[in-house]
Amino acid sequence: MDENFVMKTKKPMSKANLWATIVMCVLGVLAVVTIVMAIVPKSYAIEMPKTNPNYIYIYQGSTTPKVTLYEDTDKDFYDELLDAFNGSFSQSALSALFQKELGNTIEYNYIGSKTLSNITNSNSNDFVLGFVYSDVQTLYKDGKPYANDALMSNANYTDGVVTFKKLWITVNQVDGVGQVKFYVQKMVSEGSSESTYAILEISTKGIQSELVDVINKVITEKE
């Protein structure tokens, strides 16, 4: 071995460098998590029917609709409103975390006799949407038909499974995440969607500012 060759050994990392490396690693992980949460969506949506409603009522402080949008004859306004409605239940997981809404759960409550008048008059400045379907729809939860024990004795329901032809949905004029309530109208018969009250209330969350803007636009253009 050459006498001039000196084996150089690596110096151990100083404590300062070690802590700097750990901090950089932690910051890198946090940056990745933040980016992922900013991309991954958080949905507050209930399981809506795959079939679109035949028409949509817009109520404000009354049981008489201010506007009715038909899927076939009002396609542009109808599609714009439905897109805004569907989009109102989604935001990034990061935004949901900052607003303390990341763990929001959807609640289903049997109410028995809440009328449309009760719903529209609870805050006359807000809106209520009425989704009307031509065919009987089945309410789903977690991919399965939702059943309620209170409906077992009702002849219009099978094994307590909730079916409907009309939904009433609250639209609140608030900034940020707000409460959204769906009311499932009582089924009278398969041949009729008419009823004076709702049997089920579903509570969730939504960001409805864009939906409110579209509703105001539709009312201005159509009323």
pLDDT in tens, 44-71: 888 999 999 999 999 999 999 999 999 9
pTM: 0.76
Position 27 pLDDT exceeds 90: no
Q: Which of 10-19, 24-33, 41-50, 118-127 has the lowest mean pLDDT?
A: 24-33
Q: Which two tokens stand for residue 112?
A: 């028995």
- 47 forms beta bridges with 140
Q: Where are the domains of the chain?
A: 41-222
Q: Which two tokens stand for residue 79?
A: 């599609």
Within 13 Å of residue 9, how many CA atoms lie on the same side as its CB? 2
Model pLDDT, residue 86:
92
Model pLDDT, residue 187:
76
Position 190 pLDDT exceeds 70: no
Percent of the chain with pLDDT over 70: 69
* Dihedral in degrees, nearest 10, Cα atoms 189, 194, 196, 198: 70
